[in-house]
Amino acid sequence: MTQPLAKEKSSARPFHHSVDGSLHCGEVALEQLAARFGTPLYVYSGDQILERFQLFQSALSGRDHLICYAVKANSTLGIIKLLAKAGAGFDIVSGGELQRILAAAPDAANRVVFSGVGKTAPEIDLALDANIHQFNVESEAELELLAARADRKKQRARFALRVNPDVFAETHPYISTGLREHKFGVDIRKARELYLRAAKKKWLEPYGISVHIGSQIRSASPFGDAVSRAVELVNQLKQNGITLRAIDAGGGLGIDYHAGNFNPAAKVREYASALKKSLANFDGKLIIEPGRFIVAQAGALLARVLYIKKNGKKTFIIADAAMNDLIRPALYQAHHEIIPVTPRKGRTMTVDIVGPVCETGDFFARDRKLPRVELGDLLAILDAGAYGMSQASNYNTRMKSAEVLVQGKSAKLIRRRETIEDLLQQEKF
């Protein structure tokens, strides 16, 4: 029998302390997974991933909708297959991500929307051949290229213009995308002209409009504001004889990375309510692209304590995981809760938790209060299911971690640990 982490709703994170104090994912002990698969190790709760997906399905019931999981958040094939079986669509930003869909869930290709500012001709051709749901076009030049490739193949290309609604969302500047000065999308004031021009192209089908204002946004109101501006443009185009049948509201709904209470179901209901209110005068399909919200809290990165080191007044916990495994703290100064998998009695320590990579920026936490740990102890870095493995690298010639998917009592290896042979076989000398 397990108990939820203190001060948290059980639905916020799938990691629980058992009666003996050890940390579990579902019904599986994390110490057992680390012993079996080694560390660093990513562990995901498949049960929670499906639960989060169903929250969106339930909140949007009653209207035509498609939930397209944002593959960039975590592109592991096992997670793609899990969500595809549940009926998810997919938001992709590269031809490589499309290849992942075709490998893990080929029947889901017609539920794919293709975003991204730098689509190449081969990527567009691949998507046309796969008969994806729609292209989210991000520039006038891309629209011309899409028209040329569709004409060459004599295939109809269904598209939505991604417009910048000029809505400010309070988030990290690196992941804000909805203003005119950002590289994404086209100025909403120019969109009408582009739709009118595209409507004259034989193999282009103006199908929808797309807005995406950023990531890790905690308030629902900016999403509603962005969709309201999209609806205004839809109504203007209708007067010009162009009927758009879908509005893609993008993704970006945020989570709570800290230790406080967080109610995912209430947050999704609030988000869905804001969208529905803005769509009151639009009866077409709603497309949304959640990524982080579905997978982030379902995942944890497990790491072993290698050394405990003091430099002056500083105490460093040196773990076997590093910034190449999880770069968010170094890149965004992002916060992740970190807890011992098997807590010890004793005084709390104030420490920096760092990795072995040769960079001062290789850290997971600074001046963090942590229960007492000793050499060989296992740490769980929480909320690491999104933008962890998908941003992992081989910096310092470190091998990428293994990944395990837990459902109920079962634990399945969905990515084996990378080996030095895997790396070297790609190179010639």
> Residues with Cβ < 8 Å from 142, sequence gap 6 or more?
117, 119
CA-wise closest residue to 100 among 125, 121, 130, 122 = 130
Confidence of residue 261 (pLDDT cuts 50, 70, 90): confident
Give the pLDDT of residue 259.
85
Each residue's pLDDT tens digit, 417-428: 999 999 999 999
Is there a catalytic annotation at residue 68?
Answer: no
Return the exposure string of 408-424: e unless at least 16 CB atoms fall within 10 Å of the residue's CB, then b. eeebeebbebeeeeeee
pLDDT of residue 168: 56
How high is the pLDDT of residue 11? 59
> Is 50 exceeded by the pLDDT of residue 5?
no
* 199-224 residue pLDDT tens: 999 999 999 999 988 889 989 999 99
- CATH pick for 35-44+298-388+400-424 out of 3.90.850.10, 3.40.50.720, 2.40.37.10, 3.30.1360.70: 2.40.37.10
Contact 344, 374 (CB under 8 A): yes
Average confidence score pLDDT of the chain: 93
Strand pairing partners for 401? Answer: none
Catalytic choice (6, 280, 358, 420): 358
Residue at token pair 């539920």: 111
**pLDDT tens digit sequence for 269-279:** 999 999 999 99
Under the banding of pLDDT at 50, 70 and 90, the label for residue 20 is confident
SS3 readout for 308-371: EEEECCEEEEEECCCCCCCCHHHHHCCCCCEEECCCCCCCCEEEEEECCCCCCCCEEEEEEEEC
Third-level CATH fold of 46-295:
TIM Barrel (3.20.20)
Domain spans, the chain: 35-44+298-388+400-424, 46-295
pLDDT at position 19 is 86
User: What pLDDT is attached to residue 188?
Assistant: 85
pLDDT score recorded for residue 179: 43
pLDDT at 310 over 90: yes
Distance, CA of 400 to CA of 414 (rounded, Å): 13
What whole-number percentage of the chain has pLDDT above 70? 93
Crossing angle for the helix pair 121-130 and 140-153, to the nearest 10 degrees = 50
Question: Which residues, 6 or more positions from 209, have their beta carbon under 8 angstroms from its beta carbon?
Answer: 160, 161, 163, 191, 230, 233, 234, 244, 246, 247, 248
Q: How confident is the model at residue 317, as a pLDDT?
A: 98
Sequence-distant (≥ 6) Cβ neighbours of residue 170 within 8 angstroms:
217, 218, 219
SS3 content of the chain, % helix, strand, coil (to 5): 35, 25, 40
pTM: 0.93
pLDDT for res 184? 66
